Structure formats: structure tokens, C-alpha cells
Structure 1
Amino acid sequence: MAELTIGRMAKLYNLHRSSLYEAVAKGRVSAGLNANGQKVIDTSEMIRVYGPVPNDTRHPTPKKQTPPDTPDSSALLDELRALRAEIASLRDEVHQLRRLPPPSTPEAPKTDAHATIEPPADNDDPHGLRSLARAMFDAAQREK
């Protein structure tokens, strides 16, 4: 059966938590610990000691009521037929639109995804990084 914390079990049986803690302390009700370290009581143990769960009269189950303005089944069937007819006409329209040629678009400049990027000109070295790299490369070549 299900294990509930002492607080939840007390609410379920309309008891005070302290009464339930006292029953556990005196050994009338056995309790264990759950994975979170909270004291829990098995439902079967509560049924053994206190009997079945009492009916909660504070929150009665609402009776199912049908709204007074519920349409009858013939009106619903008529609405369903009208919706199906509308869906059929929309499908026909989509079918006709798919037969049309695609709209023309203004030509955009074509870009080649595999185009190589041109290296900048030799004189385009504002920070002197290329010249420094070349000097280091030349010095390494001379040492060999």
C-alpha cells in the first residue's frame, strides 16, 4: 500500500498531527522513514488501527450537471457536417494553389559557397603582424 507522511496521513484521517506522532511514539502505529528521512506510515497500518479512511464531508464530490444550454445531437451533427464541408473546400483551394507556378522573386546576387577568399595585399598590414611573422620565419630559415 501507499506510504504517506504523518502530516498527510493526519489530514486524510482528520486527526491532529501530534495525536498521530503520539500514537507512533507509544507503539500503537508503526512508522518508517522514506528516502527523504521523513516519518511515513503505511496506509494498511492506518486501516488496521483507525479503520478505513473516513469520508470527507468538508469537500463533497460535485455531482455532474449538464449545462442548460447544451445543444441537442442534431444541432451538433449539422455543425459537424458544415465543418467537414468547409474543410473539403479548403483542401480543394490548397490543391489549386499547389498547381500554380511559384511566384517570381527578384534576383539576388549569387554567392559561391566554395569561393576562395583573396588574401589582402602585401601593403595591407596595419599592425605589422605579417611583417613580424615573415621576419621570424626568415630568421628560422637562416638558422637551419
Structure 2
Amino acid sequence: MAILSISEAARTWRMGRTTIQRAIREGRLSAAIQSNGGKGIDTSELVRVFGEPCIDAERDAGVDAPTPPTTNDPMQADTEAPSQRDAPQAVVALQTQVRLLETQLAEAHDRELWFRRQLEEVQRLLPAPAPVPPPKPAPPRRARLWLLAALLLALLAFAGWRWRDVIHATVVRLVVG
């Protein structure tokens, strides 16, 4: 594709040179040094970053575009609104934009399908989750009572060992006495 200077690119894409220079500085747009020492930008790079150039700019650059019929009647030329003169160009520009948006939408749809397939494949490759064990059943009421009784007996036995001399003396007095 053709290599344009920053000024030519700004005219063709109808934007300021600073916008193009900022895109180069931020790394969104790549530029090369031309033989005359200026920066040159490939048109494919410009299309990638800024989209298609303006229709009017293509006509100014020499691309054959249909020209509106001219009249020699000055009255008719004055009554024709500027929007009517630009209407075919606006329609072409809008059609170009619609085609571009349809292409982008189709690409986004394809990308979404690809990501969905990737997700399904990753989910298929994952191992099945481990089954959750059922909760332990609560012990029956009777078992709880026996457990409490055993705990009480152990407590009394421990307390009794500590106070065995007192308990022994009391039992001897009661039995003997």
C-alpha cells in the first residue's frame, strides 16, 4: 500500500495531525522514516487504526467518483440546499459504515462462538466434582443419655480420687458407727 506523510494522512482521514502524532506516540500506529527524513505511515496502518478514509478525501486524491450534475442556472444552484448536494456522498459514507459495522459484528459473533467452544472444551476436560458426603446422623437420644451418665461417672471418679481420704473416713463412720 502507499505510504503517506502525516499531513497527507491527516487530510485524507480528515483529522488533525496531532491526533495522528498522538496515535504514533502511544504505539497504536506505526510509522517509518521516509527517504526525505519525514515520518511516513502505511495506509493499511491508517485503515487498521482509524477505519476507512473519508469519501470526499478519496475524490480529492484522484479516485474517480460520480460528480453531481452541474447547471448553468444560478437560481437553481442557490435554491439547492447544501445537504441535498452532499446527500449521495452521505449515503455512500453511511453504506460504507454499515458494511464495516456488519463486518465487525460478524467477527464479534465468530469470536463469541470460538470462546464458547473453548469454554465447553475446558469444562469437559475438568474432572467431575467430588461427591459431597452426606451429613452424619445425630446420635439417638438414648445414646446421648448414656454418654452424659458416663461423663458424670468419670467426673465423680476423678473427684473421688482426690477426696478419697475424706470419703473413706465418712464411709467408715457410717458403717461402724
Q: Please tell me the TM-score bracket, short chain as reference.
A: 0.3 to 0.5
TM-score normalised to structure 1 length? 0.40
Normalized per residue, which structure has more helix? 2
Between structure 1 and structure 2, the one with the greater Rg is 2
Q: Provide the TM-score with structure 2 as the length reference.
A: 0.33
